[in-house]
Amino acid sequence: MEQNTIQFQKGLSLTSFLCQYGTEAQCEQTLKRWRWPQGFVCPVCGHSEHCILNVRNLYQCNTCHHQTSLTSDTIFAHTKLPLTTWFLAMYFLTQQKNGISALELKRHLGVSYPTAWNLKHKLMQVMKETDDRRPLHGVIQLDDVYWGGERHGDKPGRGSPNKVPFVAAVATNLEGHPIAMRMSKVEGFRKAEITKWALKHTDTQAIVVSDGLACFSAVSEVGRRHYSVTTGGGPTSVTLDDFTWVNTMIGNVKNALTGTYHAINGKHLPRYLAEFCYRFNRRFKLEDMLPRLGQAAVRTPPMPFRFLRMAEVH
């Protein structure tokens, strides 16, 4: 039987990872190359002439004398962890198909659970912000989804407070093959929410196909081509060709989340969804996924723990 070339690609083996990023010096040189591919550039004045203060491991601009570290103004800022720990975490997050829990990451990295949770959520935030800047294009299959079930005594159905609504979208090419997906939390399935989603996550030339949910008409109101398909509801509605890929990915992501994580706080759900979307969107070349995440991480602003833990993510 012929093997699927994407599914059976080599990826980045642990042996290759350790050869490239196994020491602190290797990680520092790699991070420097990711952050300043053309050589050091002062973040304040833009000049390149500098000196290195070895005592404090700082780069000082010769023009404005601004001092900066290798990790300042990036997602790695103020970290007390060695870079080898960060790189190993990036390896596990990019090479594990079904994700990795903070508890499992704690055991692999040899750190405390809060540290593993903090590190994982920072990297997932990088994934989310990176994909949020790239609107979907082509033919987009769109559907409404809920995470979580009803609790005894609470309001049943869609109004259950334990259910978190999110939009699932899969972009396909002209041959009908899936190219990229986006899963985004919304406040509810209302026109105002879908309008914001469509403006942010779809290209102006995109063609969007959805079921007959009334709020999805907002897609055409913001200038996108939109086709509504009446599904009729029930089990047969998920077998329609118009929604093959979005239904497949909803099932895959829900199964992976349920199998990997003991519980997910609804306010952090967007990061967990973004983790799966990020890997899916870059599945064509697994070995490049870690350096691509690292390059995105050095362009992502610092994120204090209090923000990660308390802030509502959308």
CA 73: distance to chain centroid?
A: 20
Q: pLDDT-based confidence at 81, cuts 50/70/90?
A: very high
What is the pairing mode between strands 225-228 and 207-210?
Answer: parallel
Homologous superfamily of 139-264: Ribonuclease H-like superfamily/Ribonuclease H (3.30.420.10)
Q: At what angle are helices 113-132 and 102-109 packed, to 10 degrees?
A: 120
Centre a 10 Å sphere on the Cβ of residue 49 and count the other Cβ atoms it contains. 9
Tens of pLDDT, residues 4-31: 777 777 889 999 999 999 999 999 999 9
Highest mean pLDDT among 50-64, 180-194, 259-273: 180-194
Domain ranges of the chain: 40-70, 139-264
Q: Read off the tokens for 303.
A: 């994120």
Taking the C-alpha atoms of residue 17 and residue 135, their distance in angstroms, rounded to an integer, is 31
Q: pLDDT-based confidence at 153, cuts 50/70/90?
A: very low
- Residue in 204, 199, 182 with CA at minimum distance from that of residue 138: 204
Centre a 10 Å sphere on the Cβ of residue 88 and count the other Cβ atoms it contains. 22
Q: What percent of the chain has pLDDT over 90?
A: 76
Q: Read off the tokens for 254.
A: 């829900």
Taking the C-alpha atoms of residue 88 and residue 274, their distance in angstroms, rounded to an integer, is 20
Q: pLDDT-based confidence at 210, cuts 50/70/90?
A: very high
Tens of pLDDT, residues 237-295: 566 788 999 999 999 999 999 999 888 988 999 999 999 999 999 999 999 999 999 99
pTM of structure = 0.90
Q: Which residues contact 213 (CB under 8 A, 6 or more apart)?
A: 144, 189
Any idea which of 1-10, 134-143, 233-242 has the lowest mean pLDDT? 233-242
Q: Read off the tokens for 148.
A: 């979580």
Task: Say if residue 113's pLDDT is above 60.
Answer: yes
Q: Which residues contact 165 (CB under 8 A, 6 or more apart)?
A: 144, 145, 146, 158, 185, 186, 187, 188, 189
pLDDT of amino acid 9:
78
pLDDT of amino acid 154:
47
Task: Identify which has the larger pLDDT, 54 or 289.
Answer: 289
The DSSP-derived string for 133-184 is TS-B-SEEEEEEEEES---TTSPPGGG-TT-EEEEEEEEE-TTS-EEEEEEE
73: left (phi over 0), alpha (psi -120 to 50) or beta: left
Would you say 173 and 195 are in contact if contact means Cβ atoms under 8 Å apart? no
How large is the average pLDDT for residues 122-135? 97
pLDDT of amino acid 235:
60
What is the pairing mode between strands 50-53 and 139-147?
Answer: unpaired
Task: Identify which has the larger pLDDT, 160 or 99.
Answer: 99
Q: Read off the tokens for 128.
A: 């989310």
What is the pairing mode between strands 67-68 and 139-147?
Answer: unpaired
Average pLDDT, whole number, for the chain?
90
